[in-house]
Amino acid sequence: MDTANIGDLPAATDARALQVTRPSSDYLDVSESLPLRLASGKELAPYRIAYKTYGTLNADKSNAILVPHALTGDQYVASHHPVTGKPGWWETMVGPGKPIDTDRFFVICPNVLGGCMGSTGPASVNPSTGKPWGVDFPVITIGDMVDAQVPLIDHLGIEALFCVIGGSMGGMQVLQWAARYTERVFAAVPIAAAAWHSSQNIAFHEVGRQAVMADPDWAGGRYLELGKEPRNGLSVARMAAHITYLSEEALQRKFGRSLQDLDAKSFSFNADFQVESYLRHQGSTFVDRFDANSYLYITRAMDYFDLAADYGDVLANAFRGTRTRFCVVSFTSDWLYPTRESREIVQALNAVAANVSFVEIESDKGHDAFLLDEPELFATVRGFINAAARKRGLPASAGPRLAGSA
């Protein structure tokens, strides 16, 4: 294994491929001698995991927090994104004096296997052909993503993670870590997540995948090799998905039926309404930072996620004997991963007498509430982490930097 600056990657086939495969972060190369055995039965080697770290690892390496990202996230959890220039996707939660306090903890955020910000995925070069993998890349699962992160934790010399915390697909990875590597996870915080993907969510993902594959420029998945981009298809996929991240209340409050820069309806198919313009903007900006094939692979990995399936279809069996401390969090207006699915996780943990707390947060912001300014979420995470840190023998928190801050 080797770690270096990701700028040393071999040249890709076009400017956009360079942009998505050469972010300014560290990476770990896992050699051919250590192949990753995938759930499909195939092996992947060599492979690369790109990652960012924040804070300092203490002497006994007991203060590490792993933050897996959601579907369209990446390793830039608390630092500016090199492509968009925007702040980190969870800077409300991670940073000095924040609930995940980088003055106290060593935070690790890897780009998932199958991603497009440096980790090996369909936009990466297939070493056997010298061309982008495209759809020749093997189909992966959430379990495969987690298994690919283990060598990174080993490389950093960390025997046991103090905490694994994440929302949405990040929460799925939290659950997989806690089930598959229970001895290596002291505390786990799955937020706005579920132990399996519902048929409704699979249906939404299939609409998005079909939008991508129906774009002529998808070219059977070989668009990078041919210098094309399925921008229209990926944009539509993002628009459809983004609706599921919000709530009816949030959309109505933000947009209502307001027109976009018009005094009257145009009686055309232009974006008359503000909500239409908003969705088009979300779609058009997304395609500048995300690879279309990665979208296909990662959504499929989420669809395949069913934690109980590996444990005799009994979710409680996934956590039997666990000593991990859990805090499960849901939001009242999240219809993508509704509270009842979080309660199923809690019930499974209770069935095996696990140490678990549960918080349902009142919010009208929908699924994306975990990424937004939610004081109750900040207080919940801060309180749980502080209590777990005391049990782990870590130094006490000095509290928020400023009164009223996250």
List C-alpha distances in Å: 308 to 2, 299, 359, 387. 35, 19, 22, 29
197 is catalytic: no
Categorise residue 309: left if φ over 0, alpha if ψ from -120 to 50, beta otherwise.
Answer: alpha
More confident residue, 21 or 236: 236
What would the mean pLDDT of 130-149 be, rounded to a whole number?
97
Domain boundaries, the chain: 2-196+307-392, 201-299
pLDDT of residue 371: 96
pLDDT at 278 over 50: yes
pLDDT digits (tens, 9 = 90+) for 202-240: 999 999 999 999 999 999 999 999 999 999 999 999 999
The CATH code that applies to domain 2-196+307-392 is 3.40.50.1820
- pLDDT number for residue 247: 85
Q: Write the CB contacts of 215 (distance below 8 Å, at least 6 apart in sequence).
A: 230, 231, 232, 233, 234, 292
Q: Is 128 a catalytic residue?
A: no
What is the per-residue pLDDT for 368? 95
Residue 404's pLDDT is 40
Q: Given the residues 144, 215, 272, 334, select the one marked as catalytic.
A: 334
Q: Do the beta carbons of residue 233 and residue 213 sit within 8 Å? A: yes
Of the listed ranges 171-175, 204-208, 243-247, 346-350, the least confidently predicted one is 243-247
pLDDT tens readout for residues 301-344: 999 999 999 999 999 999 999 999 999 999 999 999 999 999 99
Q: Active site residue: 62, 79, 168, 247, which one?
A: 168
401, pLDDT greater than 80: no
> Could you tell me which residues come within 8 angstroms of residue 324 by beta carbon, excluding any fewer than 6 positions away?
178, 182, 185, 186, 187, 188, 354, 355
Distances (CA, A) of 137 to 45, 140, 200, 293: 12, 9, 26, 9
The angle formed by the CA atoms of residues 260, 250 and 200, to the nearest 5 degrees, is 105
Q: Is 50 exceeded by the pLDDT of residue 21?
A: no
Task: Write out pLDDT tens, residues 41-73.
Answer: 999 999 999 999 999 999 999 999 999 999 999
User: What percentage of the chain reaches a pLDDT higher than 90?
Assistant: 80
Share of the chain above pLDDT 70, in %: 92
Which of 69, 197, 205, 367 is catalytic? The answer is: 367
Amino acid at 79: S
The mean of the pLDDT values for the chain is 90
Higher pLDDT, 206 or 24: 206
pLDDT at position 7 is 32
Q: Which two tokens stand for residue 121?
A: 């995925």
DSSP state of 182: G
Per-residue pLDDT at 2 exceeds 50: no
Q: Is the pLDDT of residue 272 over 80?
A: no
Question: Which pLDDT does position 24 carry in this prediction?
Answer: 62
Beta-sheet strand order (sheet of 355-361):
2-5, 26-30, 47-54, 106-110, 64-66, 161-167, 185-191, 325-331, 355-361
The answer to whether the CB of 279 falls within 8 A of the CB of 243 is yes
Q: What angle do CA 176, 132, 126 make, to 5 degrees?
A: 70
CATH architecture of 201-299: Orthogonal Bundle (1.10)
The pair of structure tokens assigned to 259 is 């027109």
- Report field, pTM of the whole predicted structure over 0.75: yes
Digit-coded pLDDT (tens) for 245-257: 988 888 888 878 7
168 as an active site residue: the answer is yes
